[in-house]
Amino acid sequence: MASTSETGHNKNVANFSSAFQILQEMGTLYNPSNAKIQLATLDPIRASLQTTINELNTKKPIYKNAVAEREEAIAPLNKMVTRVLNYAKSIDISITDKENISSQAKKIRGVQKQKTLNPETTEASGISTSQMSYDSRIANLDAFTKQLASYPEYNPNETALKIETLQAQHTNLVNLSTTVNTAGNALITARINRNYMLYKSENNIIQLMRDIKSYLKSLGNEAKPYYSAIQKLKFVEKL
């Protein structure tokens, strides 16, 4: 049964650690011939899983904070573009030129407001799609600014409408988006590493737990309480 919940992944890691502790409590009773499920093999896997989760938890707030900072900076963009467009419509250039400027402005303003992504629940595809959407909008701002700069008639007295102001805004957004993209890619990598260890590696915990349970059942009544305790630990498989 598939799960896309961060809580589900973390629960799998926590339950694997609990299962290991139960096996430790068994002492010499737990003595499998399969090296993959011996305590000496399981212990470093448990430690690596915890390290992976810690790394992931460290990268989540970095990404979340970067997204929030970019969101704050890009929020006034539509109003700014509208003001600039209205000024451009007032200058002495052809109707065709004004239509071209308006068309470029629509590429910036026409994008629906992106939903702020929650790093606790957003998978890699969602992060990547959001990155491309913002990057496209910022690229359109650059094209819009260069188009305006090509007209000598575009020479506003208002600082907020000047080419230099638009260029500074573009540079700031590029830097902020680069930070978001870097943090987002790091978060994607951290999730891939976690998912590999949990579900896809040769020693993934889903298969390990199946083998452990089978071995405990083979021990008969003496191991039954331990098997029952481990059986209560739920592991949700994500493929």
Read off the pTM. 0.76
Task: Compute the distance between CA of residue 86 and CA of residue 96 in angstroms, rounded to an integer.
Answer: 15
Q: Which residues of the chain have pLDDT under 70?
A: 1-5, 110-130, 132, 238-239
> Could you tell me the residue ranges of all domains in the chain?
6-231
- Residue 2: the pLDDT is 38
115 DSSP 8-state letter: P
- Residue 119: the pLDDT is 56
Interacting residues of 9 by C-beta distance below 8 A, sequence separation 6+: 3, 194, 195, 198, 238
> CA-based angle 215:221:222, to the nearest 5?
80
User: Exposed (0-12), middle (13-18) or buried (19+): which is 116, by Cβ within 10 Å?
Assistant: exposed
114 DSSP 8-state letter: P
Task: Compute the distance between CA of residue 151 and CA of residue 148 in angstroms, rounded to an integer.
Answer: 6
H or E element: which one contains 19? helix 6-25
No. of helices (H) and no. of strands (E), the chain: 8, 0
CA dihedral sign of residues 105, 111, 115, 116 = negative
